[in-house]
């Protein structure tokens, strides 16, 4: 048996080797028929490889939040629950469609975007999370050191690109050019999720240069799924709850 396990490991069948050892230790092999044992080992190897691939994909995505659709709270009517659940099947990626999530600061835009990104990873899609300010700054540096085309190609290869906190500050000429190239490369082929505190009707002012703004928005907004979130900041609610807990503790003491 040790020889079999060693050969499994040498062949990099790590999930199969682990399942085989656990089965021997638990004496479950006595209840397995030969075809059941083979099926059990293959399923275990498949699960092992899937989990390793998912871990690499999530790590490569560089998410801001560790989020999941299952952990999204639908209790306070901040957004359309059915819309989010429909988007969670990630069919929008297969169709090359975009998602725009707008709403006030602290309301959970980034979390929902990250949750959809994690869901996309679990379905085998390549995903990249980027904060808008850092994205434009990094691409400017890439232009200066000659790595711009390589960085642009990396972004283009992603099935889903998350641009978080778009519109924090107006775009300068270089940032406009970067955004135009990114969106142009992805248009009709790949999907982009953009979160912003700024309503879409104000994006022309953020982008600047009317002609370029029109071109960018036509590619981003046309046929995009829009999620306009309402309500109070979740951060403020948490702070109020914390302060209330402290006041209650002081009263009790």
Q: Please give the full DSSP string across 189-239, using - where no structure is assigned.
A: TSEEEEEESS-GGGHHHHH-SHHHHHHHHHHHHTT-EEEE--S--HHHHHH
Give the right CATH number for 69-232 from 3.10.20.30, 3.40.50.12780, 3.90.226.10, 3.40.50.300. Answer: 3.40.50.300
User: Residues 125, 96: contact at Cβ < 8 Å?
Assistant: no
Query: What per-residue confidence (pLDDT) applies to 139?
Result: 95
DSSP state of 131: E
- Cα–Cα distance for residue pair 154/184, rounded to 1 Å: 14
DSSP state of 163: E
Query: What per-residue confidence (pLDDT) applies to 28?
Result: 62
Query: What per-residue confidence (pLDDT) applies to 238?
Result: 56
235 CB-side CA count, 13 A: 8
pLDDT in single tens digits along all 253 residues of the chain: 788 888 888 888 888 888 888 888 886 666 788 888 888 888 988 888 888 888 888 888 889 888 999 999 887 788 889 999 999 999 999 999 999 999 998 889 999 999 999 999 999 999 999 999 999 999 999 999 999 999 999 999 999 999 999 999 999 999 999 999 999 999 989 999 999 999 999 999 999 989 999 999 999 998 899 999 987 766 555 554 444 454 545 544 4
Kindly state the helix (H) or strand (E) to which residue 128 belongs, with its residue range. strand 127-131
**Tokens 């009517």 identify what position?**
77
Query: What per-residue confidence (pLDDT) applies to 134?
Result: 94
Judged on CB neighbours under 10 Å (0-12, 13-18, 19+), 51 is exposed
Query: What per-residue confidence (pLDDT) applies to 23?
Result: 84
Query: What per-residue confidence (pLDDT) applies to 242?
Result: 46
SS3 label, residue 100: strand
Query: What per-residue confidence (pLDDT) applies to 243?
Result: 47
Query: What per-residue confidence (pLDDT) applies to 235?
Result: 56
Query: What per-residue confidence (pLDDT) applies to 131?
Result: 96
pTM score, whole prediction: 0.79
- Strand pairing partners for 102? 196, 228
- Strand pairing partners for 101? 195, 227
User: Residues 236, 112: contact at Cβ < 8 Å?
Assistant: no
Give residue limits of the domains in the chain. Answer: 2-61, 69-232
């Amino acid at each position: 048996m040790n020889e079999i396990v060693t050969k499994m490991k040498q062949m990099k069948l790590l999930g199969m080797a682990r399942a085989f050892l656990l089965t021997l230790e638990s004496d479950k092999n006595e209840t397995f028929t030969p075809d059941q044992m083979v099926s059990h080992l293959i399923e275990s190897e498949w699960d092992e490889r899937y989990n390793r691939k998912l871990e690499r994909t999530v790590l490569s995505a560089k998410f801001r939040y560790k989020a999941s659709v299952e952990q999204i709270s639908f209790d306070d009517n901040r957004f359309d629950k059915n819309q989010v659940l429909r988007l969670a099947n990630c069919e929008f990626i297969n169709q090359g469609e975009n998602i725009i999530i707008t709403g006030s600061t602290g309301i959970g835009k980034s979390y929902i975007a990250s949750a959809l990104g994690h869901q996309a990873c679990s379905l085998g899609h390549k995903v990249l999370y980027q904060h808008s300010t850092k994205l434009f700054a990094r691409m400017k540096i890439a232009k200066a050191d000659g790595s711009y085309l390589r960085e642009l190609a990396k972004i283009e290869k992603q099935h889903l690109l998350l641009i978080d906190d778009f519109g924090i500050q107006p775009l300068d000429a270089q940032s406009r050019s970067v955004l135009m190239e990114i969106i142009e490369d992805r248009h009709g082929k790949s999907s982009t999720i953009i979160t912003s505190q700024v309503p879409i009707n104000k994006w022309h002012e953020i982008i600047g240069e009317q002609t370029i703004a029109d071109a960018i928005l036509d590619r981003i907004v046309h046929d995009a799924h829009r999620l306009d979130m309402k309500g109070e900041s979740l951060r403020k609610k948490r702070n109020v709850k914390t302060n209330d807990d402290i006041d209650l503790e002081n009263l009790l003491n």
